[in-house]
Structure 1
Amino acid sequence: MQGFVLGGVSSGVGKTVATLSIVQALADAGYDVQPAKAGPDFIDPSHHEAVAGRPSRTLDLWLCGEEGLRRNYHRGDGDVCVVEGVMGLYDGDASSTAMVAEALGLPVVLVVDAKAGMESVAATALGFREYADAIGRDVEVAGIVAQRAHGGRHERGIRDALPEELDYFGRIPPTPDLEIPDRHLGLEMGEEASLPIDALRDAAETLEAERLMEVATDATAPESVPASQGTDAVDARIAVASDAAFRFTYPATIERFRERADLVTFSPVAGDPVPDCDGVYLPGGYPELHAEALESSGTLTELGERASEGLPVLGECGGLMAMSQSLTTVDGERHEMAGILPADVTMHDRYQALDHVELEARDETLTADAGERVRGHEFHYSSAAVDGDAQFAFQTVRGDGIDGDHDGLTEYDSLGTYTHVHAESSAFDRFLERLSA
């Protein structure tokens, strides 16, 4: 599948809006588009899916490794893959947009904020193209999309100023209809605040879909499937929480569960009973926005009882919060949670951790063998005060975890972490294999 990467000159330049506009432009031109996101984000991909009609692939070198990243890319389907970058093109020591583009061998279309410039837009783009050579990266900046650019003289000035080695792929007009509301953790989810289709189509008309298709190239293919990752089916049934409070799941994770086990979903917010299963996965999300419903639904109470009887429960970030004894919102309201883990969680106005993470298992646990290292990502606005007798499954090699030195609270046969992991790590395979043992 051919593709290209949308890189930004910085965070906040409007990459998501540009991505959605380009997806719409290509779709309107008759192409089947596969969206993808460089980096570990869950929110931007929800907007991709709302427009493209298919799940967005997660492409992160730290989470997936180079071969895993390529495998995940090639599991997509369509005529062309549009990869939205993370932060500025070269920003990030673990998995920058430039590193992802290089690993896939894809060209970069640079999103430049043009609201107050013409010649300077060209100078900025040329600098980003030449910087790749300066730092020894095999990255081709093929051209630009001018974000927040007017038509007429403004657009002509930008186009005419570009050197011949940089192509012009169109502009995104400045309009309030192309703004996505945000909150803590980032933008609102795609199903909550999708952009108006008319505004997207208006933006699509100022983009040059056929020229974008001409610049797309075939991505580098993976060489093999590593022997360390299990692919055989296991005799296990896994229940995955899926609702407004638990929505941060990578498509590859659900795919892995479905490939290797029997999967069923349930909604704690709606008060669904815990399904008959061998283990439960509580992904991240926004339990703090639904704390009252979770407290009163009865599902978490039942889950706590089942966990105390030996049902393995794996929770990530929001899942950890729901597994705790209590959750206190920013407004100071305290809500009882499942009571599986010896911790009380409090929400804050500012984020408490944001980083790529590496953990080392202290002993055998649900997602790792003793001494095994797991890579992931953390981004949360809550903190967890743990009881004095709390047991941690992981030492943090990189990242903050729960207390700065550890992550993975463990109680009974259950585990809760602030770290999100990807299916290309061994963690979910270990989890499934533990359930079937």
Structure 2
Amino acid sequence: MKGFVLAGTKSGVGKTVATLATIRALQGAGHAVQPAKAGPDFIDPSHHTVVADTPSRTLDLWLEGEDGLRRNYHRGTGDVCVVEGVMGLYDGDCSSTAMVAEALDIPVVLVVDAKAGMESVAATALGFQEYASAIDRDIDVAGVIAQRAHGGRHAEGIRDALPDDLAYLGRIPPTPDLEIPDRHLGLHMGSESPLDDETLSGAGEPLRTDQLLDIAREPPESTGDDEPVASADARIAVADDAAFCFRYPATIERLREAADVVTFAPTAGDDLPDCDGVYLPGGYPELHVEELAESPALDTIGDRASDGLPVLGECGGLMALSESLTTADGQRGEMAGVLPSDVEMHDRYQALDHVEFRAKTDTLTASDGSYLRGHEFHYSSASVDRDATFAFDVERGDGIVDEQDGLTEYRTVGTYAHVHPESGAFDRFLDAVGTQPRTK
């Protein structure tokens, strides 16, 4: 499957709208599109999934490594892969858009804000192209999409100013109706604020889909082995609702390779299904404190966890497993009460970084002494009991408290970090679940 990366000159230039318009334009030309996102984000991919009607792939060198990155890319389906970048093209020391494009050896299409420029758009794009050579990186900046560009003389001026080796690949016209609402952690999820399909299709009409396909390339295959996970002969319950919506498609795929996966919605009043292990992904529990406080699922998780049921919570999952959750405006709700902590939301983010942990002992997602890489981004902090036990020392990042993460009680682990299945964490989790007596 051939592909290309849509990269911005900076954050806020309109990469997500340009990506969605490109997906829709390629679909309109009769192509099956596989969306993907550079970096660890969950929100932009949710919009990709709504428009493309297929899950977006996560491509992050820190989380997956080069082999894992390529494996995850090639697990996608379709005629062409459209990869949305993260921040500006060269921004990020662990997994920048440029690093992802270089690892995949696919071209970069630069999204440039053209609202108040013509020749300057070309100068900006040329600078991004030549910077790759200046830092001795093999990054192919092959063309430009002009964001917020009018037609006629405006578009012609941009096209004519570009040098021969920078293709003009069309424009996204100024379209105020394509602004996606945002809040803490980023944009609204795709299912909450889907863009108007007719407006999106109109925005993609000026794009040159034939030229985009012409510059696309197929990445090399992974050189490492893709080891199948052993069957756990188990049932994994995965929380799936507006409070627990941050999960990588590859994670669910990995769990389903070895186990029976059943979903439940705590905010809708679902109880915990019969299961041998529980995965609580991240999301927005702070927006659903009342529903969670009344959820029978959290009560059942509390009871089952104390009996030794393996439970893994990531960020929002950690929050729901704690004693209580208090919002920034003072609303407080009792949570599952498994982990000895009280969580409070803040107006500013408390951590944002790629992270690395070292396991202090054998735990649900890592063996003693091993390293685990992930990503943290949260607006909450956790106050923990003095005798709280942690599974990990934090080598990079903030963690929960005192450079520690992986709050542990019984066979439950809660982390502020999200990890990708290429880390091996979910294989380890499946192994732990598989040692449980099977629940009928």
Give the match for residue 101 of structure 1. 101
| CA distance in 1 between partners of 2:228 and 2:10 (Å) | 39
| CA distance in 2 between partners of 1:223 and 1:259 (Å) | 22
Give the match for residue 29 of structure 1. 29
Give the match for residue 302 of structure 1. 300
| CA distance in 1 between partners of 2:195 and 2:296 (Å) | 35
| CA distance in 2 between partners of 1:200 and 1:280 (Å) | 38
SS of 1:248's partner is coil
| CA distance in 1 between partners of 2:271 and 2:394 (Å) | 35
CA contact (8 A) 2:61 2:100 kept: yes
SS of 1:395's partner is strand
Give the match for residue 38 of structure 2. 38
Give the match for residue 333 of structure 1. 331
Read off the aligned partner of 1:327 and give its amino acid letter. Answer: L
User: Which among 311, 314, 318 is matched to residue 320 of structure 1?
Assistant: 318
CA contact (8 A) 1:266 1:275 kept: yes
Alignment of 1:284-433 (within 5 A): 284-433=282-431
Read off the aligned partner of 1:321 and give its amino acid letter. Answer: M
Give the match for residue 77 of structure 2. 77
Read off the aligned partner of 1:18 and give its amino acid letter. Answer: A
State the TM-score, normalized to the length of structure 1: 0.98
CA contact (8 A) 2:375 2:417 kept: yes
Alignment of 1:37-436 (within 5 A): 37-225=37-225, 231-436=229-434
Give the match for residue 10 of structure 1. 10
| CA distance in 2 between partners of 1:413 and 1:232 (Å) | 21
| CA distance in 1 between partners of 2:77 and 2:209 (Å) | 19
| CA distance in 1 between partners of 2:233 and 2:78 (Å) | 33
Gaps of 5+ in 1: none
CA contact (8 A) 2:272 2:296 kept: no
SS of 1:424's partner is helix
| CA distance in 1 between partners of 2:426 and 2:20 (Å) | 31
| CA distance in 2 between partners of 1:404 and 1:34 (Å) | 41
| CA distance in 1 between partners of 2:93 and 2:381 (Å) | 25
SS of 1:392's partner is strand
SS of 1:3's partner is strand
SS of 2:112's partner is strand
**Higher mean displacement: 59-68 or 291-300:** 291-300
| CA distance in 2 between partners of 1:404 and 1:374 (Å) | 18
Percent of paired sites with the same residue: 70
Deviation, 1:218, is: 1.0
CA contact (8 A) 1:6 1:19 kept: yes
CA contact (8 A) 2:271 2:295 kept: no
TM-superposition CA deviations, 1:334-354 (whole Å, max 9, x none)? 110000000000001111000
Read off the aligned partner of 2:44 and give its amino acid letter. Answer: D
TM-superposition CA deviations, 1:90-132 (whole Å, max 9, x none)? 0011000000000001000000011011111000000000111
**Higher mean displacement: 32-41 or 215-224:** 215-224
Deviation, 1:220, is: 1.4
TM-superposition CA deviations, 1:326-375 (whole Å, max 9, x none)? 00001101110000000000001111000000000001111111001000
Deviation, 1:297, is: 2.1
| CA distance in 2 between partners of 1:266 and 1:405 (Å) | 33
Read off the aligned partner of 2:192 and give its amino acid letter. Answer: E
Read off the aligned partner of 1:137 and give its amino acid letter. Answer: R
CA contact (8 A) 1:103 1:220 kept: no
| CA distance in 2 between partners of 1:334 and 1:291 (Å) | 7
Deviation, 1:224, is: 2.6
| CA distance in 2 between partners of 1:233 and 1:82 (Å) | 33
State the TM-score, normalized to the length of structure 2: 0.98
SS of 1:125's partner is helix
Read off the aligned partner of 1:98 and give its amino acid letter. Answer: A
| CA distance in 2 between partners of 1:289 and 1:422 (Å) | 25
CA contact (8 A) 1:230 1:429 kept: no
Deviation, 1:254, is: 0.2
Gaps of 5+ in 2: 436-440
| CA distance in 2 between partners of 1:382 and 1:349 (Å) | 9
Deviation, 1:404, is: 4.4
CA contact (8 A) 2:175 2:203 kept: no
SS of 1:102's partner is helix
TM-superposition CA deviations, 1:238-270 (whole Å, max 9, x none)? 110111110111010000000011111111111
